[in-house]
Amino acid sequence: MNTVLITGASSGIGKATALYFQQRGWRVIATMRSPEKCPDLAQLPHCQLLALDVTNLDSVQRAITTALDTGEPIDVLVNNAGYGLVGAFEAVTPEQIQRQFDTNVFGLMTVTRALLPHFRQRRQGVVVNISSVGGQMTFPLYSLYHATKWAVEGFSESLQYELQPWNIRVKIIEPGPIKTDFYQRSADVQRSPDYTRFENRILLNIERTSQNGAPPELVAQTIYRASTDRSWQLRYPADPLARSLLWLRKLIPDGLFTALIRRQLISHNQSSELTG
Ligand SMILES: NC(=O)c1ccc[n+]([C@@H]2O[C@H](COP(=O)([O-])OP(=O)(O)OC[C@H]3O[C@@H](n4cnc5c(N)ncnc54)[C@H](OP(=O)(O)O)[C@@H]3O)[C@@H](O)[C@H]2O)c1
């Protein structure tokens, strides 16, 4: 029986992924900050819940040690835990910036470092990093979130070179808008009186986008494919909108792409009218 360890499995993409693998006969180690919040997952056969906060080194080491103490190997790591900091760059606090990077970047690296010796010892393993279309393009008010996802993309792309000789595959999953807690409960939204009109416009568009998001099961399906296809393919757009956006991003020049984003998300008028 193969084993997958997933971070941030309490909701959204992480939880859908836990269910998807479990239904396909995998042993699932579903890690999350508060396992008591997920009694439904805990009841499933071959599904083990472990407390793991990616920003806490002790918590990561404890969870990985517990997972490996069973003697069963881990085949796939899904680095999924993450959230979005939304707001004008100058309005967010240094603590908000730190937490965004601690979770989305350094947390992902900490969990990866904790499992790599195990993968190298076995000379096999798959590291699946959940990025975003926002790891290849940007939208307004998400500058810090994008900075983390672009970091995940660069980190993953380089990491693949040194891990390939050990037969360890690195995969990047790029979802478009997905209907999860990402846009509400999990979002860290910082408003500023200096950007009110701009924020109102963008937050309304984000709200609309989130309502039309694809189901997290689509991303789970892509994660499963990336984990099991035994290829060295690096990037996996996760849903039809992600595929179209990433295709467009590659096809057209930067200036035209950012003009399209401005037109779609900010204003048909001059964006200078949106100050204050
Ligand atoms: N939804 C989208 O449109 C979208 C698009 C592209 C990429 N993504 C990425 O997909 C991933 C999953 O997001 P989602 O859409 O499924 O949102 P979600 O439902 O809000 O899930 C986020 C998960 O991350 C966990 N988490 C946050 N901080 C953590 C920490 N310090 N340690 C451990 N777990 C932590 C949350 O745990 P708690 O329950 O304890 O808060 C939750 O389980 C994220 O990396 C996100 O950036 C999402």
Whole-number Å distance between alpha carbons of 30 and 62? 14
Instruction: Please enumerate in sequence order all residues whose Cβ is within 8 A of that of 122, keeping only pairs 6 or more positions apart, or say none.
Output: 73
Residue at token pair 């979130």: 145
Q: Hey, is 26 helix, strand or coil?
A: coil
* Burial tier of 149 (Cβ tally within 10 Å: 0-12, 13-18, 19+): buried
- Which ranges constitute the DSSP H helices of the chain? 12-23, 39-42, 57-69, 94-101, 108-122, 143-163, 196-211, 216-228, 240-251, 254-261
The terminus-to-terminus CA distance of the chain in angstroms comes to 58
| Residues 126-144 as b or e (16 or more Cβ within 10 Å = b) | bbbbbbbbbbbbbbbbbbb
CB-ligand 1 contact for 35 (6 Å cutoff): no
- State yes or no: is 145 an active-site residue: yes
- State yes or no: is 192 an active-site residue: no
**How confident is the model over 104-161, as pLDDT tens digits?**
999 999 999 999 999 999 999 999 999 999 999 999 999 999 999 999 999 999 999 9
Tokens of 32: 């999350």
61 Cα: distance to centroid of ligand 1 (angstroms): 20
CB-ligand 1 contact for 150 (6 Å cutoff): no
CA 102 to ligand 1: nearest atom: 31
Whole-number Å distance between alpha carbons of 124 and 166? 7
**Position 198: which residue type?**
F
In this structure, the number of other CB atoms found within 10 A of the CB of residue 58 comes to 8
Q: What is the DSSP letter of 135?
A: G
Q: Hey, is 10 helix, strand or coil?
A: coil
**How confident is the model over 227-262, as pLDDT tens digits?**
999 999 999 999 999 999 999 999 999 999 999 999
CB-ligand 1 contact for 87 (6 Å cutoff): no
Which protein residue's CA is at the shortest distance from atom 40 of ligand 1?
Answer: 33
| Mean pLDDT taken over the chain | 96
Q: What's the confidence (pLDDT) of residue 96?
A: 98
CB-ligand 1 contact for 13 (6 Å cutoff): yes
Helix, strand, coil distribution of the chain in percent, nearest 5: 55, 15, 30
181 Cα: distance to centroid of ligand 1 (angstroms): 8
Q: What's the confidence (pLDDT) of residue 57?
A: 98
Q: What is the DSSP letter of 214?
A: B
Q: Which of 182, 206, 218, 245 to mutate to test the pocket of ligand 1 (most atoms within 8 A of CB)?
A: 182
151 Cα: distance to centroid of ligand 1 (angstroms): 17
Q: Is the pLDDT of residue 214 over 70?
A: yes
Backbone angles phi, psi at 189, to 5 degrees: -100, 125
Q: Is the pLDDT of residue 272 over 80?
A: no
- State yes or no: is 149 an active-site residue: yes
Q: What residue ranges do the domains of the chain occupy? A: 3-274
> Model's pTM, two decimal places?
0.97
Which protein residue's CA is at the shortest distance from atom 2 of ligand 1?
Answer: 178
Backbone angles phi, psi at 207, to 5 degrees: -55, -45
Q: What's the confidence (pLDDT) of residue 271?
A: 56
* pLDDT-based confidence at residue 276 (cuts at 50, 70, 90): low
User: Which CATH fold would you assign to the domain 3-274?
Assistant: Rossmann fold (3.40.50)
Q: What's the confidence (pLDDT) of residue 237?
A: 98
